[in-house]
Structure 1
Amino acid sequence: MPSISTPVAVAACVAMALFYVLILYAPTVILRLPSASSFSDFMIRRFICAAISTIASLIFTAFLLPVKSWEASLVLGVFGIRTDHLWQGMLYPLLLTSLIYAGSLVSNMLLLLESWRENGGGGSSLDYIKSFVQTAPAWAPLTEELVFRACMIPLLLCAGFRIYSAIFLCPILFSLAHLNHFREMYIRHNRSYIKALLVVGLQLGYTVVFGSYASFLFIRTGHLTAPLLAHIFCNYMGLPLLYARGKDTEVNGVLV
């Protein structure tokens, strides 16, 4: 018999998803915060809001789950925060994820090699590493993985959901955290309604696919680091490369 009823688990997951979205994109309403005066203030405020939502979700989930002992290692282990087999939980999923971006990685390596030759072996490699660190902040994937994987998947499994049902249900809720892109495309970037809808539809489709993959990694490894590293890596790489454009020719069909 499931330790948590199905309606309670689903309602809790929906509530956490909505709370994450609302507090992140409407902080002036939820937390009564003033409007950000600069981009730096905006990013700091988003970090604080995401942290508040994540901590609240972790506490809420811990009380809902049938945890027999409140020992720190046991509670953290429920959320996939463990030290056993850590390197396997980090290395194997990252290598598996990199296969999806084989075309992109080869293209970037060729561009990096070409830049290195043109600069006479200068600091292009260091600049590439710096750009990765600057454009792939870890806090956004960390809060999303804690809420949408570490909190929701244990709840769904304890409610009696099958593994594959949980794998495909969490990404649907995960996609809610990216619905704000439609507003940004339609209002801020002044795109047409149809074009914004198509772009956001593609993004949401990719988000659902990645969310299913991340959920699989979390369940298969039992480590939060597995989907977290994959999330950071995919955020940096973007959509997989479908073609490569050279200086003189264009080679289509470089599938990844």
Structure 2
Amino acid sequence: MEDGALSKPAAVLACAAMASFYVGILYAPTLILRLPPPSSHTNFLIRRFICAGVSSLVSVVVSAILLPIKSGEASQLIGVYGIRIDHIWQAVVFPLALTALMYAGSLTFMSLLLIHSLREDVNCRGGLIKSISVEAVASLRSIASSVMHWRNYVVAPVTEELVFRACMIPLLLCAGFQKNTVIFVCPIFFSLAHLNHLMDVYNKQQNNWTRACMIIGLQLGYTVVFGSYASFLFIRTGHFLAPVVAHMFCNIMGLPLLVSPGKGIVSLAFLAGLLGFLWLLFPITNSGLYNDRTDTCRCWQGYCSGN
């Protein structure tokens, strides 16, 4: 790639446009295309799936046009987006394990609830293995049959990471932004893209702007923190799957549980997980675990631009 071929203002403007388009297209069917309202919530979500897919495709095309890629390097474009088939298990297992450490308190609390539930089932039905099997099958069926679960656990993580990480980060790095800057700047676009929930929250809070703004403020703060972490994973690993699996896991778990009344073990588990997370953050995201070309390219993702 050619250094300096993309200016910083152009990269920032492109990222802002991608974020705006990702949100704006969700309202295009009714406001622009004048389509009738969906007949059900399921159809409403499916329509949004299509919009998110179109937005992701447009972002990929736009970033491909803007990236300073020579004609002979066009085959490396997919690699620039972090879409690779090598080191897949590392890109899935290591970031997932690292992210799970932040949820040590939540996982401990869920385990205690599961043990209590299984004990009751065993007393009622008999057989621990049978009880676990019934619980697992019921959970899988619930997830697979729910369109909302597909939205939260598949469509949103994949499309958001494609647009806000895979497309935006190479643009910002090629424009000359330092990696540390990108890790904290890129999530701003990610958080602003969630402002479209403001009116929904406002209506749910019975038209109370103070409560709505407090809730949205908390959500934006969380998205900035997670966005920084996801950007960190993408830049460090160079693998698209790394932030995707972390995103899916966080959507499933929600906010980490810090304390639980009457269960001090939950707080201890959270503290231990936090310390483990900080200790392993850099070693477990070392580029050598996810790539074999670290000795041949300073920024082995493929977009060398002096960073």
User: Is the pair's TM-score, using the shorter chain for normalization, greater than 0.5?
Assistant: yes
Please tell me the residue identity of whatever aligns with 2:62: F
1:197-217 deviation digits (Å, cap 9, x = unpaired): 111101100000000000000
Q: How far apart are residue 131 of structure 1 and its match?
A: 4.6
Please tell me the residue identity of whatever aligns with 1:160: G
- Relative to structure 1, the CA distance from residue 201 to residue 239 in structure 2 (aligned partners, 3 Å threshold; closer, same or farther) is same
Q: Map 1:115-194; keep pairs closer than 5 Å.
A: 115-120=117-122, 121=128, 122=131, 123-131=134-142, 134=146, 135=149, 136-190=152-206, 192-194=208-210
Q: Separation in 2 of the partners of 1:129 and 1:112?
A: 16
1:48 paired residue among 47, 50, 53: 50
Tell me the secondary structure at the aligned position of residue 260 of structure 2: strand
1:230 paired residue among 235, 246, 270: 246
Please tell me the residue identity of whatever aligns with 2:48: R
Please tell me the residue identity of whatever aligns with 2:13: A
1:91 paired residue among 58, 78, 93: 93
Q: Corresponding residue for 2:115?
A: 113
Q: How far apart are residue 40 of structure 1 and its match?
A: 1.1
Larger radius of gyration: 2
Q: How far apart are residue 31 of structure 1 and its match?
A: 4.0
TM-score by length of 1: 0.92
- Relative to structure 1, the CA distance from residue 85 to residue 178 in structure 2 (aligned partners, 3 Å threshold; closer, same or farther) is same
Q: How far apart are residue 125 of structure 1 and its match?
A: 3.2
Tell me the secondary structure at the aligned position of residue 137 of structure 1: helix
1:93-120 deviation digits (Å, cap 9, x = unpaired): 1111001100001111121122122111
Q: How far apart are residue 28 of structure 1 and its match?
A: 1.5
Q: Separation in 1 of the partners of 2:7 and 2:163?
A: 20
2:219 paired residue among 175, 179, 203: 203
Q: How far apart are residue 221 of structure 1 and its match?
A: 0.5
Q: Separation in 1 of the partners of 2:179 and 2:89?
A: 24
Q: Separation in 1 of the partners of 2:108 and 2:193?
A: 31
Q: Separation in 2 of the partners of 1:113 and 1:160?
A: 52
Tell me the secondary structure at the aligned position of residue 153 of structure 2: coil
User: What is the identity percentage for the equivalent residue pairs of Structure 1 and Structure 2?
Assistant: 56
CA contact (8 A) 1:23 1:31 kept: no
Q: Separation in 1 of the partners of 2:39 and 2:74?
A: 40
1:13 paired residue among 8, 15, 19: 15
Tell me the secondary structure at the aligned position of residue 39 of structure 2: coil
Q: Separation in 2 of the partners of 1:206 and 1:232?
A: 15
Q: Corresponding residue for 1:239?
A: 255
In the alignment of these two chains, the number of paired residues is 253
Please tell me the residue identity of whatever aligns with 2:79: G
Please tell me the residue identity of whatever aligns with 2:137: L
1:40-82 deviation digits (Å, cap 9, x = unpaired): 1101100010011110110111111122247775221111100
Tell me the secondary structure at the aligned position of residue 138 of structure 1: helix
**Gapped regions of structure 2 (runs ≥ 5):** 123-127, 272-307
Q: How far apart are residue 24 of structure 1 and its match?
A: 1.6
Q: Separation in 2 of the partners of 1:104 and 1:48?
A: 33
1:33 paired residue among 5, 19, 35: 35
Q: Map 1:55-74; keep pairs closer than 5 Å.
A: 55-69=57-71, 74=76
CA contact (8 A) 1:20 1:54 kept: yes
Return 205-214 or 69-78, whichever deviates more: 69-78
Please tell me the residue identity of whatever aligns with 1:60: V
CA contact (8 A) 1:137 1:232 kept: yes
Q: How far apart are residue 189 of structure 1 and its match?
A: 4.2
- Relative to structure 1, the CA distance from residue 99 to residue 175 in structure 2 (aligned partners, 3 Å threshold; closer, same or farther) is same
CA contact (8 A) 2:108 2:266 kept: no
Please tell me the residue identity of whatever aligns with 1:216: F
Return 231-240 or 120-129, whichever deviates more: 120-129
| Superposed CA RMSD | 2.0
Q: Separation in 2 of the partners of 1:178 and 1:103?
A: 27
- Relative to structure 1, the CA distance from residue 108 to residue 129 in structure 2 (aligned partners, 3 Å threshold; closer, same or farther) is farther
CA contact (8 A) 1:25 1:180 kept: no
Return 26-35 or 176-185, whichever deviates more: 26-35
Tell me the secondary structure at the aligned position of residue 3 of structure 1: coil
- Relative to structure 1, the CA distance from residue 25 to residue 177 in structure 2 (aligned partners, 3 Å threshold; closer, same or farther) is farther
